[in-house]
Structure 1
Amino acid sequence: MNRRQLIVSTAATALAAAASPALARPSGAQMSPTPPVAKKIPVIIEQLGRTRTDDYQWMKDDNWQAVLRDPTLIKADVREHLEAENAYREAMLASTLPLQAQMFEEMKGRIKQDDSSVPSPDGPWEYYTRYDTGDQHPRFCRRPRGGGAETLLLDANALAEGKAYSEVSAAEHSPDHSLFAYAEDAQGSEVHQIYVRDLETGEVLADPIQSANGNFTFSPDSAWIFWTNQSANGRPDKIFRRPARGGESTLVYEEEDEGMFIGVGRSSDDAFILITIQNQETSEARLIPASDPTATPAILAAREVAVRYDADHWADRWIIRTNADEAIDFKIVSAPTASPARSEWRDLVAHTPGRFIEGVALVKDYLARQERADANTKIVIRDRAGAEHEIAVDEPAYALNLGGASEFDTTTMRYGYNSPSTPTSTYDYDLATRTRTLRKVQEVPSGHDPADYVVERLNAPAADGQLVPVTVLRRKTTPVDGTAPLLLYGYGSYGIPMAASFSTGRLSLVDRGWIYAIAHIRGGSDKGWGWFLDGRKFSKKNTFTDFTAAADHLIARNFTRSGQIVAQGGSAGGLLMGAVANMRPELWAGIIGQVPFVDVINTMSDTSLPLTPPEWPEWGNPIEDPEAYDYMMSYSPYDQVAPRAYPAILATGGLSDPRVTYWEPQKWVAKLRPATTSGKPVLLKINMEAGHGGASGRFDYLKEVAHDYAFAIWAVERGWEAA
């Protein structure tokens, strides 16, 4: 499908859009478009003595691995149905095109087009990215430290020229500054080519690395490049090495457990090359000394089920963040360089329940850690003698992000601060003098005054007495009298927290009188790692009931009312959307399920899919465990679709998505449409030229945001009734 342009160029449409933020309604009576009717081909599946029938299993292309790499290979009947769904959605949302165009221009106007990152110093150079006006993609650059002529390392716009999709997922210079490598995904399938450029000649070396997953690093001596292979089933399975300037590849490590993810990198002090191995609850690291980069990797500490750790080297010792010894919210231990096995671990920062240690950054004489509690963060600095001090912010809801340092022998680390109302400020922090230097404030060219907005932190009581943090953003002029429409966002999986951060896109809703809220629900680590553990496996339903509790609390506090809320979530957050649509359909005016993981039983029973074995610790294994099967079946959104008065629903996906494959939203919509008794539309948008993250260009992505927000407004204002 050719991507439909959302900018409407006629003067009449532009004037109509500018006159009112509401939907443009047709002037005369029109027939509503006819939705596609998916054929049913019942497939009976017997599993663990249980039987289920799937009418839409035909939508999964048996050759899906090849389709991810070349979408033109998809079965004709599947493509025909997807194109019919896209055409129906476009027809249903035709009245929103002026609104989409207006919001896109607003969002674009809030982005500084000729922008650049704060340079990161490393040896004689400082590295940065920048955008010129009109650029969809970044330019990777360097200049002499302290100033001087710029060298363009990579223009990702030129790389993307003529391609429907192009994303540079990783870029890195060699430690000796002679080479620059970058990984490009040219399909959205997360299968990458890694290119290496000679910075003296400017030439890209021949024979790029194929079938990589985007993760790579140079050896500390710059002689070798290590990378992670992407298997035919879309999993990282092997680490390879070859000379940095090209040559024969050598297998360094192969992971036999298909339930593990692997990656490769360097320690902060460049003393080791590190291979990381982990799933949702167990991890292991293997190390290669920088002095012998072709050595066989040695185990740092042998893997133990339910013990997670990540390690870095601090010049004379290992620094390890771990949940060992029942340290649910993690602690930091140290170990000798020569003997880092578990028996040698000694506590450096003890475990404190409710204070989740999210990560650690090291420079020569200082250790910085980022901690999370009650859905907010702080940064703690520790010197080698053990003295500590904090960097914290006294606000109700904010995001504080430790950036660390690109050099080891430095006393400066970088961090960023923002909040839902406040654009990002980037600081360089002197660890010795405890002074900070403001390096950049995010510019909003169209104008933005944080004082025009109110940010609040609520605590919604869950059914079991837990308090669920909810971050709320609104304009000061938006009344809290139950009349405002509200978008409630949630995720709640894998221990990933939802930061109370700034987004220029959200302002296109908030400035129209909407309230934007984030529910910091269980399944994320917003209140610690225990908050995550209480929202996975056999506690997964806490994620869903926390989200509805947040909605109920917002209604009780008079921020909005039932039936005037649009719920939004993506990927595993799309599972959340499907679950709450089944559980409490009356709460929502609309639901936006972005790349939604909704076909839980089928997906977690298919071991060929990229994420299935690695995610059994998160969801359970329905192939071998009857209890897991029954629990997952009890909430699986696709399997629990039934005759109900569903709200308006928009499901989105990408044809090249290896994480949530296109057929999950396609099947969900096919089953929802004949089931709903409300008469409200069920719509599907499949990007035929992208994967999990949607469009790759910074402006093309905004068109997708504008599309989804226009649907939200349309759902609250019941735009389909005007057709």
Structure 2
Amino acid sequence: MHAPVSRIELPAPPVAQRKPVVSTHHGVTLTDDYAWLRADNWQDVMREPALLDADIRAYLEAENAYTQAALGSTAALQAELFQEMKGRLKPDDSTVPAPDGPFEYFANYVAGGQYPRLCRRARNSEGEHVLLDGNAEAEGKPYWDLGGKAHSPDHRLLAYSVDDKGSELYTIRIRDLETGRDHTDEIPDTRGEIVWANDSQTLLYIRLDANHRPLFVYRHRIGTPVSEDVLVYEEKDIGFYVGLDKTLSGKFLIVDAHDHQSNEVYLIDADKPDSPLVLVEKRVHGHEYQVDHHGDRLIITTNSGGAEDFRICETPADKPGQANWREILAHKPGRLIIDVAVFKDHLVRLEREDSLPRIIVRALSDGAEHAIAFGEEAYALGMSEGYEFDTTTLRFTYSSMTTPAETYDYDMAKRTRVLRKRQEIPSGHNPADYVTRRLFAPAADGETVPVSILYRKGTPLDGSAPLFLYGYGSYGISIPASFSTTRLSLVDRGFIFAIAHIRGGKDKGYHWYTDGKLDKKLNTFTDFIASGEHLVAQGLTKRGRIVANGGSAGGMLMGVVANMAPDLFLGIIADVPFVDVLNTMLDKDLPLTPPEWPEWGNPIESAREFEIIRSYSPYDNVEAKAYPHIFAYGGLTDPRVTYWEPAKWIAKLRRLNTSDNLVLLKTNMEAGHGGASGRFEQLREMALDYAFALKITGLAAV
């Protein structure tokens, strides 16, 4: 059995003041004792953290001090974990160069550097020309994040965006690649995305509104005042956001307006960036489609016509509407089309069936198809279009929970592959020392939940091993069974690591997503619990020996399962957790609330959806009971899951928890949703999470 966690020398934990705020919705009265932790000037705090109310700051800092004291005994372990994880990162790592015309572009790190350098070199040559050095740009800043980056078609300019607060407010700058100097053009308060028109003088970008919503597409011409930028598109529905892209052919700029289940696409002639938008097909609730271009036609990936897992159509480029769509690949239930790339001679799709991905290459000349095959029981797969349209080379990456990432260039015509890079682990890694398996946990309604597991050979499978169970389960996001250098620090110390591929993701097709949202959201939580219980039933661990982890919407999952099945878990690690679901969905002024209503429901308009959310919202369902050890992590400038969500949750948990287990909160006062920005500082945060897990399982000294 594991050793108990000592709390003998801990100071008294912070106690948040209770200042009840009462509200009534659909005849139901809600009382929120900790609403005061939400700063009235939160928009200003996103831009300037120093403006945070003094009482709120004092409380967050007291919580940070208490967490530091509670985990103080693990300081040496944290340092050991950090050095261990850092030792698995190649100090001078580099991406495989991607060719584009006379150059090939890549990013690399220098030994000791926290941030990437953007580089290029002449095609098929050696050496490097540094276009942007993230380490130099970030010097003296507590936070620095490179957002969008795009070189101009003539290769003379680099447009890039930077956030130095963690608030996801990116400033766009344009660098002359001959002189290395930035133009005077500087565009603040953007989402960070950038696409170039073919004249290499015009770019499109997205500006955010006062509530941090990306609703406006603007056109900027190099050398002109930002105040003269032209509004290209304005989204009137605050439940929709806009995105930007460009077809690989270079023919069209793409403006995409979308929520979580519907979208519409507009095209702009990339040779004539001041030409009007052309609508492909107007939005219809529940219709999602993606647009690519080839010759005189558009290639449309769509879920129209009952194609839940998507089908592929084509249409004349000058007649883009749905009435002209002709099917070229029929829908197959259970085969989810994840992504499509269109090259001069080939159409490539990444699809998933039976919860495993594969790549299918189709010759456009005759429609002949072949698959790129893989052999492991559980693995992850991704593909990259690169920059070039007229090529037979497809780049893809492969990894598994035991196999470090491998990058291949695949000749689609010759059907041959060349290994371009294998992820190096400087401290050493032998895949044969580890085992990865895929299990299927039975859910209460007869479904089976895929669970990917990793453990070191020799780990006892008699129930004595602690188990680290990760889950997400929202927005249709599937968590791949990919390689991670960090989790080796847990499995090398005796943990079994597991990923529960629960409903709310798309691991088993689009229905796996729809069965885990809105009025079926409960499936997400019960799937996760069923996964843990199945691993216990298989003898891999014991009840009360599981440490669960999830972040953001996965942090909401953590809050719910802590309420629903507290005795199943020894500990809960909730990173930037979306735990105040009901209050957030009732606040239409928060950045993400209106676009989130299709995912969770609109409790303002619907009494039924109000009750559904209220039934599971973690903060609203904390009650007097024995909770497992809980560690929550927040970011002060986080616009996605605002800092007060974990702060309120921990305050309520500490008041009502009847166990003697740790209840801890750490707020990064200089970062947002993604945590620390440097690649090594991120490892320090992971080391803290893992030290917490090792401490509560009694393995901290191992």
TM-score over 0.5 for the pair? yes
What is the CA deviation profile of residues 256-307 of structure 1, one whole-angstrom value per residue up to 9, with x for unaligned ones? 0000110112111011111011101110001111232101212111111110
CA distance in 2, matches of 1:510, 1:300: 50
Q: What residue number does 1:408 align with?
A: 389
- Report deviation, 1:196: 0.5
1:242 aligns with 2:198: no
1:174 aligns with 2:155: no
From 163, 184, 190, the counterpart of 2:168: 190
What is the CA deviation profile of residues 354-396 of structure 1, one whole-angstrom value per residue up to 9, with x for unaligned ones? 1100010111111110001222100000111211000121211
Matches within 5 A, 1:273-288: 273-288=253-268
Q: 1:649 to 1:74 in 2, by over 3 A?
A: same
Q: Secondary structure of the equivalent of 1:137?
A: coil
Q: Secondary structure of the equivalent of 2:672?
A: coil
- Report deviation, 1:223: 2.0
Q: What residue number does 1:347 align with?
A: 327
Q: What residue number does 1:431 align with?
A: 412
Q: What residue number does 1:271 align with?
A: 251
CA distance in 1, matches of 2:498, 2:224: 50
Q: What residue number does 2:662 align with?
A: 681
1:305 aligns with 2:285: yes
CA distance in 1, matches of 2:647, 2:8: 27
From 136, 142, 150, the counterpart of 1:164: 142
From 515, 521, 542, the counterpart of 1:534: 515
CA distance in 1, matches of 2:198, 2:568: 55
1:587 aligns with 2:568: yes
From 557, 578, 584, the counterpart of 1:603: 584
Contact 2:197–2:271 (8 Å) recurs in 1: no
What is the CA deviation profile of residues 98-138 of structure 1, one whole-angstrom value per residue up to 9, with x for unaligned ones? 11110000000000001111000000000000111000000
1:251 aligns with 2:231: yes
What is the CA deviation profile of residues 14-48 of structure 1, one whole-angstrom value per residue up to 9, with x for unaligned ones? xxxxxxxx99999xx95322100000001111112
- Give the AA of the match of 1:489: Y
CA distance in 2, matches of 1:40, 1:157: 44
- Report deviation, 1:150: 2.0
CA distance in 2, matches of 1:371, 1:558: 33
Contact 1:566–1:712 (8 Å) recurs in 2: yes
- Report deviation, 1:642: 0.3
Q: What residue number does 2:240 align with?
A: 260
- Give the AA of the match of 1:583: M
CA distance in 1, matches of 2:3, 2:419: 42
Q: What residue number does 1:131 align with?
A: 109
What is the CA deviation profile of residues 409-437 of structure 1, one whole-angstrom value per residue up to 9, with x for unaligned ones? 11101000000000000000001000001
- Give the AA of the match of 1:144: A
Q: What residue number does 1:671 align with?
A: 652
CA distance in 2, matches of 1:490, 1:637: 16
Contact 1:23–1:99 (8 Å) recurs in 2: no
Task: Please report the RMSD computed on the Cα atoms of aligned residues, expressed in angstroms.
Answer: 1.5
Q: What residue number does 1:48 align with?
A: 26
Q: What residue number does 1:458 align with?
A: 439
- Give the AA of the match of 1:408: F
Please say which of residues 711-720 and 382-391 is displaced more in the overlay. 711-720
CA distance in 2, matches of 1:461, 1:329: 23
Q: What residue number does 2:639 align with?
A: 658
1:145 aligns with 2:123: yes
Q: What residue number does 1:328 align with?
A: 308
Q: 1:148 to 1:443 in 2, by over 3 A?
A: closer
Q: What residue number does 1:647 align with?
A: 628
- Report deviation, 1:692: 0.2
What is the CA deviation profile of residues 244-267 of structure 1, one whole-angstrom value per residue up to 9, with x for unaligned ones? 344431111100000011011211
Q: Secondary structure of the equivalent of 1:205?
A: strand
1:617 aligns with 2:595: no
Q: Secondary structure of the equivalent of 1:287?
A: strand
Q: 1:25 to 1:285 in 2, by over 3 A?
A: closer
Q: What residue number does 1:708 align with?
A: 689
- Report deviation, 1:552: 0.4
Q: Secondary structure of the equivalent of 1:422?
A: coil
1:102 aligns with 2:80: yes
Contact 1:24–1:95 (8 Å) recurs in 2: no
Q: 1:115 to 1:719 in 2, by over 3 A?
A: closer
Q: Secondary structure of the equivalent of 1:35?
A: coil
TM-score (norm 1): 0.95
CA distance in 1, matches of 2:78, 2:173: 37
Which runs of 5 or more residues in structure 2 are unaligned?
Answer: none
Q: Secondary structure of the equivalent of 2:50?
A: helix
Q: What residue number does 1:632 align with?
A: 613
Q: What residue number does 2:460 align with?
A: 479
Q: What residue number does 1:691 align with?
A: 672
Q: What residue number does 1:375 align with?
A: 355
Q: Secondary structure of the equivalent of 1:176?
A: coil
Please say which of residues 187-196 and 201-210 is displaced more in the overlay. 201-210
Q: Secondary structure of the equivalent of 1:592?
A: strand
- Give the AA of the match of 2:244: V
- Report deviation, 1:403: 1.3
What is the CA deviation profile of residues 652-679 of structure 1, one whole-angstrom value per residue up to 9, with x for unaligned ones? 0100000000000000000000111111
- Report deviation, 1:337: 0.6
Contact 2:5–2:695 (8 Å) recurs in 1: no
CA distance in 1, matches of 2:287, 2:399: 33
- Give the AA of the match of 1:127: Y
Contact 2:602–2:610 (8 Å) recurs in 1: yes
- Give the AA of the match of 1:539: K
Matches within 5 A, 1:7-26: none
Please say which of residues 324-333 and 620-629 is displaced more in the overlay. 324-333
- Give the AA of the match of 1:46: T
CA distance in 2, matches of 1:293, 1:169: 23
- Give the AA of the match of 2:651: A
CA distance in 2, matches of 1:219, 1:677: 61
- Give the AA of the match of 2:524: T
Contact 1:205–1:246 (8 Å) recurs in 2: no
CA distance in 2, matches of 1:433, 1:617: 45
- Report deviation, 1:322: 1.1
Q: Secondary structure of the equivalent of 1:668?
A: helix
Q: Secondary structure of the equivalent of 1:497?
A: coil
1:358 aligns with 2:331: no
Q: Secondary structure of the equivalent of 1:300?
A: strand
- Report deviation, 1:719: 7.8
Contact 2:5–2:698 (8 Å) recurs in 1: no
- Give the AA of the match of 2:664: L
CA distance in 2, matches of 1:240, 1:229: 7
CA distance in 1, matches of 2:644, 2:617: 15
Which runs of 5 or more residues in structure 1 are unaligned?
Answer: 1-21
